[in-house]
Structure 1
Amino acid sequence: MLSTDYFWSTAAGAGLVGAADTMLAHSEISPYAATNPKEVVAEIFCAHNMGYKLNNKKVMPLYTRFSGPALR
């Protein structure tokens, strides 16, 4: 399976794992990102490409766990 296929599958969108992930996404990314793992990936990817600074030590583990594409 291609990585893009995995991202859109239900395996990649199984949900944020517990309250800690939800709170982290809400506080470090956005309230909307806390609603869905795909939104976590989308908002981190967008912020990165637009030059916004995020707390990478906190948010990148979520991005990686939810199969975000490689960032340049």
Structure 2
Amino acid sequence: MDPRRDEFDGALWHKSTYSGSNSGCVERGVLGSGRQAVRDTKDRGAGAMVFEADAWREFVEAVRRGAL
């Protein structure tokens, strides 16, 4: 499903705690629809990758298990 522009209105963005002081940072956004988005902090206008809530949860669990 493609994100609609209005889906980003009011999104809550959080910078990764693994981001350093250099320009290699990413942000995760919680969209009003419950979906999750990831964007590059140095090029926010380029858009974002959007994930369904279940897919995001599975990704995070896989990272925590060390599967990725």
Q: Give yes or no for TM over 0.5.
A: no
Tell which structure's C-alpha radius of gyration is larger.
2
Higher strand proportion (structure 1 or 2) = 2
* Higher RCO (CA-CA < 8 Å; seq separation 6+): 1
The structure in which a higher percent of residues are helix is: 1
TM-score by length of 2: 0.31
